[in-house]
Amino acid sequence: MASAASPPSAAVPSHTPPPLLREFSYWLHRYRRTWRGTVVISVANPLLFLAAIGAGLGKLVDRGGSSYLHGSSYVAFFAPGLLAAMAMQTGFIEAAGPVFQSARERGNYRAAAATSMSPADILGGHLLFMAFRLALSATAFTAVVAAFGITGPLRALLLIPAATLTGMAFSAPVAAWSVTVTRQARINGVFRFVLMPLYMFSGTFFSTDQLPRWLHGIIACTPLYQGIALCRSIVAGTATAQGTALHTGYLAALVLLGYLAARRTFTRRLNG
């Protein structure tokens, strides 16, 4: 215990977690009540997609045989794409609505900001929870993918951080934005007009190699394409040091830039 000579600030016991973990534990606490609903959207839905499109539609695709699949089955091509797209969606959903609500109506950010927590602690803890959610969904999904023999257990294990990174490349910038949003409709609009087209056309369902070169070039610049390429290279076993460095570097840069922007917007909103 603290000795008599310790300064007043040492009155706070040394075993207390860093502030960021306090915010994380708040979200974890809430999650104990809401996790059932999130299982449907982030695990059950993608698995239904995987079954219907990957296995069902995939049978038709495989019968035709496509050179764009580079010899893999359609389901093995589709599964990592779907995982990355799912991570994007979860990353967006976890960052948009909850951050907006917390900064506005629910007021829990303001409540936390009135304590010894700083806006950066609040942001850090919430982002950590988003990463946790992404890792959890990715684990459930890849467990199924591995159980069906679509990929080996080691590769499945590598998919988890890849999908989490992909999701965080959305979460961090979206959090930076949604703390400034004043109307829920904005969030819905971005989901429909930005997220959905990305989901459809970034290579989740088909290889973008078959598109005109210029269009492929544009798509390759989107974060989801990079996430899909990363996940797909793991499942297909075609990952190269250079390719992996490029994909992860791109995604990590987005996380970092998003985080730095969010530190500013959170501070402005909560301490302005």
Partner 1 sequence: MTGHPTKHLVEARSLRKVYQPSGFTAVDGIDFTLTRGEAFGFLGPNGAGKSSTMRMISCVSPLSGGTLRVLGLDAATRGSEIRARIGVVPQDDTLDEELTVRENLLIYGRYFGLPRAVVRERAERLLEFARLSDKADDQVSALSGGMKRRLTIARGLVNEPEILLLDEPTTGLDPQARHLLWERLYQLKAEGVSLILTTHYMDEAEQLCDRLVVMDGGRIVAEGTPRQLIESHASREVLELRLPPGEQAMAAEKLDGLADRVESLPDRLLLYAGDGETTLAAVHARGIVPTTALVRRAGLEDVFLTLTGRTLVD
Closest distance to partner 1 from the beta carbon of 108 (Å):
6
The number of C-alpha atoms within 13 Å of 226 and in the hemisphere containing its C-beta is 23
Q: At what angle do helices 74-103 and 119-147 cross, to 10 degrees?
A: 160
Please report whether residue 218 would count as binding partner 1 according to CB under 8 A: no
Closest distance to partner 1 from the beta carbon of 20 (Å):
11
> Residue 30 or 59: which CB sits closer to partner 1?
30
Please report whether residue 263 would count as binding partner 1 according to CB under 8 A: no
Please report whether residue 182 would count as binding partner 1 according to CB under 8 A: no
CA-closest candidate to residue 173, choices 264, 55, 241: 264
> Residue 4 or 60: which CB sits closer to partner 1?
4
Q: Which of 1, 3, 33, 212 binds partner 1 (CB under 8 A)?
A: 33
| Binders of partner 1 in range 94-123 (CB under 8 A) | 106-108, 110-118
x/- track of binding to partner 1 for residues 41-80 (CB under 8 A): ----------------------------------------
Q: Distance of alpha carbon 234 from its chain centroid, rounded?
A: 18
Closest distance to partner 1 from the beta carbon of 25 (Å):
7
Closest distance to partner 1 from the beta carbon of 18 (Å):
9
Tokens in use for 229? 């390429």
> Residue 114 or 241: which CB sits closer to partner 1?
114
CA-closest candidate to residue 124, choices 175, 186, 196, 59: 175
> Residue 28 or 51: which CB sits closer to partner 1?
28
Tokens in use for 121? 């602690």
CA distance 150 to 73: 9
Using the contact rule CB under 8 A, the part of the chain among 46-54, 128-136, 180-188, 264-272 near partner 1 is 264-272
Closest distance to partner 1 from the beta carbon of 269 (Å):
11
Please report whether residue 26 would count as binding partner 1 according to CB under 8 A: yes
CA distances, 161 to each of 51, 128, 250 (Å): 23, 14, 15
Q: Name the CA radius of gyration of the chain, rounded.
A: 21
Closest distance to partner 1 from the beta carbon of 27 (Å):
10
For residue 204, give the amino acid letter. T
Asked if 174 and 100 touch (Cβ cutoff 8 Å), the reply is no
Residues 6+ apart with CB under 8 A from 127: 168, 171, 172, 175, 259, 262
Q: How many other C-beta atoms are found inside a 10 Å radius of the C-beta of residue 205?
A: 18
Closest distance to partner 1 from the beta carbon of 130 (Å):
18
Closest distance to partner 1 from the beta carbon of 33 (Å):
7
Tokens in use for 67? 């050179």
Letter string b/e over residues 229-247, b meaning 16 or more CB atoms within 10 A of that residue's CB = bbbbbbbbeebeeeebeeb
Using the contact rule CB under 8 A, the part of the chain among 17-25, 65-73, 174-182, 244-252 near partner 1 is 17-25
Residue ranges that bind partner 1, judged by CB under 8 A: 9, 12-13, 15-17, 19, 22-23, 25-26, 29-30, 33, 106-108, 110-118, 270-272
